[in-house]
Amino acid sequence: MVNSLVSILIPFKNVKDYFEECLKSIQNQTYKNWEVIAVNDNSSDNSLQIANRFAAEDNRFKIFSNEKSGIITALRKAYRHSSGNFISRMDADDHMTEDRIKVMVDSLLNEGLGTLAVGKVKYFSKAGVNDGYDRYEKWLNKLTATGENFKEIYKECVIPSPCWMVHKEDFDKCGAFTPNRYPEDYDLAFRFYEYGLKCIPYSTTLHYWRDYYNRTSRTSEHYAQNYFLDIKLHYFLKLEFKSNDNLVVWGAGKKGKTIANSLVEKNIPFHWVCDNEKKIGKDIYGVRLEHYSVLQNTEKIKCIVTVANEEDQISINSFLKELNLKPAVDYFLFC
C-alpha cells in the first residue's frame, strides 16, 4: 500500500471567496497520489467555475453535482465516485498544511487497520476567533495530542470534521455516510467510536479552520443544540446503557430538561438529581427531582451529567469518584 491513493471528499456550496485557497493547499501537498472528489451542492455563485478550472488543469480534481440537496447527499455522491485506499474529508472554505496528507498516510500505514488519523486544528477569522471556538480548539487539540479523543465524545464532537483520514475498509465497516442523522460529522465520530477505531496521537497543526458569520455550522438548523443532544442520547442508550442500570440525569437546566423529556417520551425510567434547592422535590415531566446525595445509596449507576459550569463539574467528578464511579464508564459529561 506504499504510495496508496487518497480520496479527499469535498462538498461545496457558495464558497467562491475561499475555494481557490482550499484547492491550492491540496495541490501543493508533498504527497502527490491523491484525488479530490468535489461535489457542488447547488451553489449560486461561481464556486463551480473555480472547481472546473482546477479540474481542467489537473485531472486529479474530479467535479460532480448533487442532484439532491444537503451535505449528506453530497458526501454520499463524493464517496461513490472515490477510488482511494484511504478516505479523507475537507471543507471547501479551509486550507491544509502542505504535509497533512503525507503525515496521515504515514500514520495509517504504520498503525494499520482499526486506526484513525487526526491532526491538530487552528481556527482563523478576519473578525477574530470568539472565545467559544478558541476553547473548543484548545480542548480538541489537547485530546488529539494524546489520542484519547473518544474519552470525551459525549461533550462535543471529538473528531475535527475536515481533518481526519481512515482506511477505506474501516470506513465501510463504520457505515460511511449511510445515516441521515445530523450533525453528520458528530454522528460519524460516534460510529468511529462504536467500532473501536483508535485515534493516532499527533501534536502538530495540520488544518486551518476558517470561521465566518455565515458558515454552515452557524446558520443551518441541523447544527442547533437539540440535534447534538439527540445524537448524544441516541448513542449513549445504544452503547453505554444496559437495562439493569440505574439511569441518572444530573442537572435540571435546559439541557437536563431536554434529556429528561426525551427519556420520558421513550418510557425509560431514571433518577433525576441536582443541587438546586428551588428545584429539589418538584415534579417535572412526571419525574421528581432529588438531591444528588441519594446516589450514595444507589447501585449500578449510569449517569448523564448535563451541568456545564466547569467548577460544578469538578465537584461532581469528585463526588462520583468517591462513589467509585469511573468517568466515561459509569458517568458521562454531556457538556
Per-residue pLDDT tens listing for the chain (335 residues)? 678 999 999 999 999 999 999 999 999 999 999 999 999 999 999 999 999 999 999 999 999 999 999 999 999 999 999 999 999 999 999 999 999 999 999 999 999 999 999 999 999 998 888 888 999 999 999 999 999 999 999 999 999 999 999 999 999 999 999 999 999 999 999 999 999 999 999 999 999 999 876 555 544 564 456 899 999 999 999 999 999 999 999 999 999 999 999 999 999 999 999 999 999 999 999 999 999 999 999 999 999 999 999 999 999 999 999 999 999 999 999 99
Between CA 308 and CA 53 the distance in angstroms is: 47
Q: Is residue 152 part of a domain?
A: yes
Residue with cell 452557524: 218
Residue 254 and residue 218 share a domain: no
Q: Is residue 236 part of a domain?
A: no
Count of domains in the chain?
A: 2
Q: Write down how long the chain is.
A: 335
Residue at which a domain ends, from 174, 189, 223: 223
Q: Which three cell numbers stand for residue 38?
A: 468535489
Residue 255 and residue 155 share a domain: no
Q: State pTM to two decimals.
A: 0.94
What CATH number does the domain containing 90 carry? 3.90.550.10
Residue 114 and residue 253 share a domain: no
Q: Is residue 231 part of a domain?
A: no
What CATH number does the domain containing 268 carry? 3.40.50.720
Residue 273 and residue 193 share a domain: no
Residue with cell 441516541: 234
Q: Which three cell numbers stand for residue 135?
A: 476553547
Residue 101 and residue 43 share a domain: yes
Between CA 14 and CA 216 the distance in angstroms is: 11
**Amino acid at the residue 23:** L
C-beta of residue 89 within 8 angstroms of C-beta of residue 9:
yes
Residue 264 and residue 218 share a domain: no
User: What burial class does residue 210 get, using C-beta atoms within 10 Å of its C-beta: 0-12 exposed, 13-18 middle, 19+ buried?
Assistant: buried
Range of the domain at 286: 241-333
Residue 207 and residue 248 share a domain: no
Residue 214 and residue 320 share a domain: no
Closest Cα to residue 95, out of 215, 211, 208, 217?
Answer: 208
Q: Is residue 235 part of a domain?
A: no
Residue at which a domain ends, from 223, 254, 278: 223
Closest Cα to residue 196, out of 219, 216, 166, 223?
Answer: 166
95-96 and 205-210: which strand pairing? antiparallel
Residue at which a domain ends, from 170, 192, 223: 223
Q: Is residue 313 part of a domain?
A: yes
Closest Cα to residue 9, out of 73, 97, 57?
Answer: 73
Reduced to 3 DSSP states, what percent helix, strand and coil does the chain have, rounded to the nearest 5? 40, 20, 40
